[in-house]
Amino acid sequence: MNKSERYEKLYGELAALLAGESDLVANAANMSALIWQSLPGLSWAGFYLMKDGEIVLGPFQGKPACVRISTGRGVCGTVASTGKSLIVPDVRAFPGHIACDAASRSEIVLPLFREGMLIALLDLDSPEVGRFDEEDQRGLESLVALFLENLA
């Protein structure tokens, strides 16, 4: 299966998994688990939730992670400030990267907006340098759009 086929399959599976449920935490938990088991080369997959202007750990799969991140700090904090998806091919070359897991070498973070407000971030980490590309970004953005459509 190539990357775009993998994301197409994942989209169908996510649609089935979220159908009829609008709870953010339940859906974020299942979406993390689905991504974790479907995409190769991941060391972490999950959500950070915006709470009172702070980025707080949400449902995820992988090793325990940093609980609170200040806006503007690290990859997640940068995405929370800019509101734009970010691919970091080599986290060691990213100033301020927060190393929750020393094995993480590349990362992609996407913002989730609801009614114009940033509500969460989707964060994927990999032990491989350059694991994520624009195709991953597009694929993950469509999964995020589906997730947002299902919220109450």
Which residues here bind ligand SME, judged by CB under 6 A? 44, 65-66, 69, 74-77, 97-98, 100, 104, 107, 123, 125
**Strand-pair partners of 46:** 60, 123
CB of 94 to ligand SME, least distance (A): 7
CB of 39 to ligand SME, least distance (A): 15
CB of 22 to ligand SME, least distance (A): 26
Q: Where are the beta strands (DSSP E) in 34-105?
A: 44-51, 54-62, 68-69, 86-88
Q: Closest CB to ligand SME among 123 and 136?
A: 123
Q: Closest CB to ligand SME among 44 and 132?
A: 44
Cβ-proximal residue to ligand SME, closest one: 74
CB of 44 to ligand SME, least distance (A): 5
Q: Closest CB to ligand SME among 125 and 136?
A: 125
Q: How many residues does the chain have?
A: 152
Q: Closest CB to ligand SME among 76 and 87?
A: 76
How are strands ordered across the β-sheet holding 54-62? 68-69, 54-62, 44-51, 117-126, 106-114, 86-88
Report d(CA 111, CA 118) in Å as an integer.
Answer: 7
φ, ψ (nearest 5 deg) of residue 70: -75, 145
